[in-house]
Structure 1
């Protein structure tokens, strides 16, 4: 994982005293370093005499309702620790905002590699297909988790998942809206009118399943840990599959890079059809209808998230210096969705 060299705005002495009282085996002092990346919940590496830990907190300032739910992240990490899905170990949730100024949780530090570019330039061409196969297999394993056995049967609401999500992200977009964007208005009108019947059995869905939220083992095409569970809930698993598949359609340039117009055969990256087929085989599905709807919704949701990042940046509350650049992608993302529905 990559960290920034600048010191974070944390009272590390107060934090160390708190964690020594609440985490078995924890000993200070604490040296904290903010990880690079992350637009939502600031994340820090803690170096201590008792080992390395990762702290993930809500950002300071006024927050949108239901956003930055680090308590939900902690709950799902705790539940998945007993399943085949690879995750960090959840150590402690602190809901007392007086300790560092916002709610936070502590988890284990996992050694591994994080890739920001879905072209995987750091990996040998012949290995890239194996990395993607591991990603799809991890996603299928996540969606096969028995939510009742994991204690997550109440982790989401009943009803049509996509209808709820369209309503949610429309509200979030409106709350963070700064300027009128034509393609977003088109999607807000089209998506509810074309929402398919929800026939999938509800699964645990990650909600932000993309390559930079995955940690891989050093030197091996194996997902070691799935990161950033803030948007997880119970719902239609095809939302995760479509959201990850966006990387094949996003522009190669920009803060959120993709593989649009790239020769994936030359790169050694599987085509979308191959990934979808692998997923369907692993989960015993005959195929996927209404695929363009799921993709269009995924672009819409990412655009809504980007708009929230932009709004926080304008308010001075964004957790990353590139937040305004991310916010500038809203219209591009919405336009890519409109291409799928025209």
Structure 2
């Protein structure tokens, strides 16, 4: 057994569908605070990856790996860099929640400064631009052709996001936070006119991609649990929200992008505008919204950690100050001009 998975039952399920040689070894990996990730290694060294929702009580519609399975399966034949999908296990003998089974993608995940420092400065710069290229590919998906046109509502995305995440805050908050309430009001006031509707990844940042350490390109973009249909600039805003640079106030965000050589946020925006051909004038709204959502997500993680300590990871409990700092940074981002 391993926390969250009956390994004997999981092994039986996997070996009926994938050519692996028992015994299989299981290890929880990554710093993810949302869906839980496990590395599976067989007797010959072949590997798979499992994803399941966190333990304990979950908010409605959150951490839906069955939906993630649908999206990844639909995109398998396209040009978005992805792992291969092996299936979705919904057997209660294996786990109390569905388990997504995908291929292991070899490469580098930039989880800390040392990972980034191992790349040449030119490779760091190219990697940031490769993320923009990857988002452009996602946003170019033909929804009708891949069967995802009904994945979510086609109504104005900004309004949907504001309603949904304000509701998530009310359900998961651990205290009152006037600065967040004020930020929510400001976002409503800056809401852009509805734009085009595309596939949106919803959680695009460096920790969610596996990269080629030599070619400095994205080999796979992971963690599709927040994917939906909406304004493509929302993904760019999310990328910026997770992309600190020199001069930013301290936050809990990974500092990887502050290592010398990485593109600035303005460079990311300019590159995306060039390769996608899109107007990016509303990016400050989407940047602010991305930081607002991140603050709400962190508050939800705090709630789950307080409710069930099994959801703690190596980085420990998320402090309340981490949420406060992101809210303050979002107020600044919302006022920026490109």
- The count of corresponding residues between Structure 1 and Structure 2 is 330
**2:31 aligned to which of 22, 34, 37:** 37
| Structure 1 residue 253: Cα displacement | 5.2
| Structure 1 residue 254: Cα displacement | 5.0
Secondary structure, aligned partner of 2:215: coil
User: Unpaired runs of 5+ in structure 1?
Assistant: 1-5
| Structure 1 residue 156: Cα displacement | 1.3
Contact in 2 for aligned 1:247/1:258 (Cα 8 Å): no
| 299-308 or 97-106: bigger deviation | 97-106
Where does residue 289 of structure 1 map in the other structure? 281
Dislocated runs of 4+, deviation >6 Å: none
**TM-score between both structures, scaled by the size of structure 2:** 0.90
| Counterpart check, 1:338 vs 2:319 | no
CA change 1:123–1:326 in 2 (3 A) is: farther
Contact in 1 for aligned 2:41/2:47 (Cα 8 Å): yes
**1:148 aligned to which of 140, 144, 147:** 144
Where does residue 170 of structure 1 map in the other structure? 166
CA change 1:46–1:292 in 2 (3 A) is: same
**2:296 aligned to which of 300, 304, 314:** 304
**1:28 aligned to which of 8, 11, 22:** 22
Contact in 1 for aligned 2:249/2:329 (Cα 8 Å): no
**2:156 aligned to which of 156, 160, 165:** 160
Q: CA-atom RMSD, angstroms? A: 2.3
Where does residue 64 of structure 2 map in the other structure? 69
Contact in 2 for aligned 1:309/1:327 (Cα 8 Å): no
CA–CA distance in 1 between the matches of 2:215 and 2:250?
A: 27
CA–CA distance in 1 between the matches of 2:89 and 2:39?
A: 17
| Structure 1 residue 233: Cα displacement | 0.6
Where does residue 320 of structure 1 map in the other structure? 313
**TM-score between both structures, scaled by the size of structure 1:** 0.89
**Superposition map of 1:206-245 within 5 A:** 206-245=201-240
**1:116 aligned to which of 99, 103, 111:** 111
| Structure 1 residue 259: Cα displacement | 7.4
| Counterpart check, 1:59 vs 2:51 | no
Contact in 1 for aligned 2:287/2:334 (Cα 8 Å): no
Contact in 1 for aligned 2:285/2:334 (Cα 8 Å): yes
User: Unpaired runs of 5+ in structure 2?
Assistant: none
Where does residue 3 of structure 1 map in the other structure? none
Where does residue 256 of structure 1 map in the other structure? 253
1:227-278 CA-partner distances (Å, limit 9, x unpaired): 1111001111101101101244475755422479x6x8xx222222222121
